[in-house]
Chains A and B, each alone.
Chain A
Amino acid sequence: MKRLLVLCLDSVPPTLLFGKLLEKLPNFRKIYENGTHGVLRSCHPPITVPAWMVMMTGKNPGRLGIYGFRHRRGSSYNEGYIVNSTHVKEPCVWDVLAEHGLKACVVGLPPSYPPKTIHGNLVSCMITPSAEKEYTYPLELKREIQRLVGEYTFDVPFRIEDRDGVKRHLFEMTERRFKVAEYLANNKSWDLFILHEIGFDRLHHAFWKFFDEAHPKYVKGNKYERIAEEYYSFVDERVGSLLSAIGEEASVLVLSDHGSKAMQGAFAINQWLEQMGFVKFVKKPDSVTEFDKAEVDWSATRAWGWGGYYARIFFNVKGREPQGVIPEQDLPAVKKELKEKIMHIRDPTGRLMQNVVFEPEEVYGEAIGDKPDLMVYFNNLDWRSAGTVGHETNYLSENDTGPDDSVHSMDCVFMFRGGGGGRRRTSQEMKGGNIIDIGPTILRLFDIRPPSEMEGRAIDLD
């Protein structure tokens, strides 16, 4: 194959891109109509970190040892760390291509800060603290970017009281990213070009309730009602311009790492664990308090949880945690007890929630690194997990820490259009793919046999 452009649209659900918005997006529609499209299943958990790295390495989160943006440090109670590029120990597709002399440009793919060496050029992702840091490989690429766009933007600062500001930043960020992408595409040598846009995820989390009529908080006629259409069209135009710049000979792959859907609420996991007798407080908080700041009686606490789009549960195990209480041999029974209780949680209307609870080893086989003991999806991720305590109820209609708009879903976008503008010139549907298949699929497109350690299988695009 000559060249491949991979457009990574963070958080874009097939229901939006292939659904009501497609007819308004001429460039994406052309890819859809002249190639292969389908729905990919995301990994567990369906979160930006680890999902993109599952795709690029062809390995599951357990083998990568990456379970979200943040990890607990070892077996400590309160210490955590942000997952960054150095935690990705497995080779990515561009590393495999490099061994064959092929070059890559990678822009924004999480986690890629701090920037690692690649055979080509790299601009790091939204976990970059600021543009003052070294965020490119090679280092001097940063100066070229500064000359081009001034201060490069990695992410959108989210403030609930300033949605106009969020909107402005969102469009500005994307404008700069595509300007950089077009510059790199035109001026650098590459075989594989990966461009990731985080803006979709930020749009969904900050504005979903304004444009989705099915959201419990949707208000007809609100000022952001058309924002999804505006943003998707804005990106579509820039994709069109990028595609013209690189020419029709290049193939194009369009992907998302997880989908999005309306958030139904947040479930206060630690409050519930306290009611079930798993968490004990020295003094019960009488106002909303972060769990880290609450006075927990660790000598009597058996398990606690983390907030996020899924819940992570940790057990307080003797000999493992600093003040562990559960003897190692009792752990399986305690796990079983808690799993059963989680499966009996009801929603505020009294209906049984469709919860999913699993141990990392059950889905991954091997699970390395700082993994949780249990992973929980409340009502198939419709409800997020809130770690805070001191609420009047376990069911929070407002998010305890931020926006209350969207949660993640398992469905991801897949589109492929071959070189020459799509030889097929007909639309074809692909079924049954998983994001772990992307690594092998990309290598196969370059006629490189995927290494046997890659778990996924190349998607047939002939």
Chain B
Amino acid sequence: MKAADSLPANPGASLPQRQVALIDLLDRLLGSGVVLTGDIVLSIADIDLVRISLRALIVSVSGQHPAPWVSGAPHPPTLP
């Protein structure tokens, strides 16, 4: 290994391996982090549609909750 491997090229080197909650991961992988729109896949609008239907699915699994974001509006904060 070269010396550079042992240097903290980025202090992020301490990211521990762990099992994260899927919902936290999906918030990040679907809810943010677009830098690029791929070729094949899906315009931005389509991705939003996927996200919305996916969110609806995740909520509908539990049954009764309406999906407040179906309109496309961010969920309102519930703090009074």
Q: Do A and B bind each other?
A: no
> Which residues of A come within 8 Å of B, CB atoms?
none
> Which residues of B come within 8 Å of A, CB atoms?
none
